[in-house]
Structure 1
Amino acid sequence: MSRIRAAYWDPEGTRFGIPTYWWRGAPPGYATRRQLTAAGLRPGGQPVAAQVLWRGIGGTRAAYLYRVDLARPKRTATPAQRRAIAAALLARRTCPTCRRVRPYYIPRSLGECTDCSPLC
């Protein structure tokens, strides 16, 4: 085992407070938030169960791990929430000056579409 890996090896959690593993060294049954999301799960309020540490740009980096057996299924948006999101996205594409719906989001720096803006 290299010294770098040995520096981050603490499966009992005596040195770091929680079980700590090196990059790609976590045992099965643990997953990061992104891995849970890819599997259609969410942490569901459980505390961080372990962490992965590695040396990266700017110092030591950490990824927190959650137990897969305690994870819950992802919640889906209700039809009302989906309608609200669609309306908000439509409002971002509607020019307040000419009231036309554009195929792009209206730049906040201009406040109107590029056809109506005197800056473009």
Structure 2
Amino acid sequence: MTDLDALTARTGIRAEFYDPLGTRYGFPTFPYHYAPDNLATRRQLRADGLRPGGQPVVAQMLWRHRQQRRVAYLYRRDLAAPKRTATPAQRALIARMLLARRTCRHCGITRPYYIPRSAGACLICEPGGGTR
């Protein structure tokens, strides 16, 4: 009994998504949670403070969720670059943009919450949102 057969018997994970040579899918493919340790998704790279850095996708993970086939692309960890950090000017710009999202256009008051884009006004100025 191979590791893959034991995996299918123990967990019910389908062997159809195990194709490390890429003969079936044209791309190295692994079942969910069974990719090699030297490969990572974008989220896993981000959690480690890395980014793909322009490298191509080298493999994929496939799994089924609610009758749909899901895919996650995998990148090599050794070729990943460190995440870029924002400059002080970029951080200041982001702070101004977030402040603008909390400032009501009608009354000009900065609220402790983001103004709903659907209304375009704070909950007090919005019709039916409360009294002034």
TM-score normalized with structure 1 length: 0.91
Aligned residues: 120
Distance 1:96 1:13 in 2: 56
Give distance in 1, aligned partners of 2:16 and 2:123.
55
Greater length-normalized contact order (CA 8 Å, ≥ 6 residues apart): 1
Coordinate RMSD, CA, aligned: 1.5
Specify the alignment match of 1:27 in structure 2. Answer: 36
Partner Cα distance (1:16, 1:109) in 2: 43
TM-score (norm 2): 0.84
Q: CA deviation at 1:118?
A: 2.8
In structure 1, distance between residues paired with 2:46 and 2:13: 29
Seq. identity, %:
62
Could you tell me which runs of 5 or more consecutive residues in structure 2 were left unpaired when the two chains were aligned: none
* 2:68 alignment partner in structure 1: 59
2:111 paired with 1:102: yes
Q: Distance in 1 between matches of 2:17 and 2:127?
A: 57
Closer/same/farther in 2, CA of residues 59 and 111 from structure 1, 3 Å limit? closer
SS at match of 1:81: helix
